[in-house]
Amino acid sequence: MFPAEVDYVRADDVPAAREHLASADDAALLAGGHGLLPAMKAGEAAPDLLVDVSDVDALAGRAVDADGARVGAVTTHAELLDDDGLAEHVPVLPATAEHLADRQIRNRGTVGGNLAEAAPAADLPAAVLAAGGTVHVDGPDSERAVAAPDFFAGDGDTVLGAGDVVTAVEVPAHGAAAYRKRTHPASGWATVGVAVAADLGGEGDDATGEDVPTVEDPGVAVAGVTDRQQRLGAVEAALAGERATPATLSAAAERSSDSLDGPLRGDHHVSGEHRRDVLPTVVERALGAAFGVPEVAR
Ligand SMILES: Cc1cc2nc3c(=O)[nH]c(=O)nc-3n(C[C@H](O)[C@H](O)[C@H](O)COP(=O)(O)OP(=O)(O)OC[C@H]3O[C@@H](n4cnc5c(N)ncnc54)[C@H](O)[C@@H]3O)c2cc1C
Q: Ligand 1 pocket: which of 18, 36, 165, 166 to mutate (most atoms <8 Å of CB)?
A: 36
Please say if the pLDDT value at position 229 is more than 90. Answer: yes
Please say if the pLDDT value at position 295 is more than 90. Answer: no
- Between CA 178 and CA 195 the distance in angstroms is 6
- Between CA 169 and CA 116 the distance in angstroms is 11
Q: Dump pLDDT digits (tens) for 93-120.
A: 999 999 999 999 999 999 999 999 999 9
- Between CA 70 and CA 35 the distance in angstroms is 23
Kindly state if the Cβ of 116 falls inside 6 Å of ligand 1: yes
Q: Ligand 1 pocket: which of 13, 18, 29, 123 to mutate (most atoms <8 Å of CB)?
A: 29
Mean pLDDT of the chain: 95
- Between CA 125 and CA 123 the distance in angstroms is 6
Q: Could you tell me if 129 and 219 are in contact, meaning their C-beta atoms sit under 8 angstroms apart?
A: yes
Q: 232 alpha carbon to ligand 1 midpoint, in Å?
A: 25
Q: How far is CA 228 from the centre of its chain?
A: 11
| Strand 7-10 with 49-52, pairing | parallel
Percent of the chain with pLDDT over 90: 90
Give me the half-sphere count of Cα atoms (radius 13 Å) on the Cβ side of residue 163.
Answer: 13
Beta bridge partners of 203: 213
Please say if the pLDDT value at position 6 is more than 70. Answer: yes
| Predicted local confidence at residue 50, as pLDDT | 98
- Between CA 107 and CA 34 the distance in angstroms is 10
Please say if the pLDDT value at position 3 is more than 70. Answer: yes
Question: CB atoms < 10 A from the CB of 237, how many?
Answer: 15
Kindly state if the Cβ of 31 falls inside 6 Å of ligand 1: yes
Q: How far is CA 263 from CA 28, 256, 260, 280, in A?
A: 29, 15, 9, 18
Residues written for the chain = 298
Q: How far is CA 111 from the centre of its chain?
A: 8
pTM higher than 0.85? yes
Please say if the pLDDT value at position 152 is more than 90. Answer: yes
Q: Ligand 1 pocket: which of 52, 99, 105 to mutate (most atoms <8 Å of CB)?
A: 105
